[in-house]
Amino acid sequence: MTNDKMGIRIQELRKERNMTREELAEKAEISTKFLYEVEMGKKGISAETLLKISRALSSSCDYLLTGEGKNRNGKFDNMSPAQMKRLGKIMKLINEFCEEKDDSN
pLDDT at 84: 66
39 shares its domain with 84: no
pLDDT digit string (tens) for 17-63?
A: 999 999 999 999 999 999 999 999 999 999 999 999 999 998 888 88
Mean pLDDT across the chain:
83
36 shares its domain with 18: yes
The CA distance from 25 to 10, in Å, is 11
The model's pTM is 0.66
Q: Is the pLDDT of residue 7 over 90?
A: yes
**Could you list the residue range(s) of the whole structural domain that residue 58 is in?**
3-74
pLDDT at 71: 55
Long-range contacts, stretch 54-60, CB < 8 angstroms, 24+ apart: 55/28, 56/24, 56/27, 56/28, 57/10, 57/13, 57/14, 57/17, 57/19, 57/24, 58/17, 59/13
64 shares its domain with 46: yes
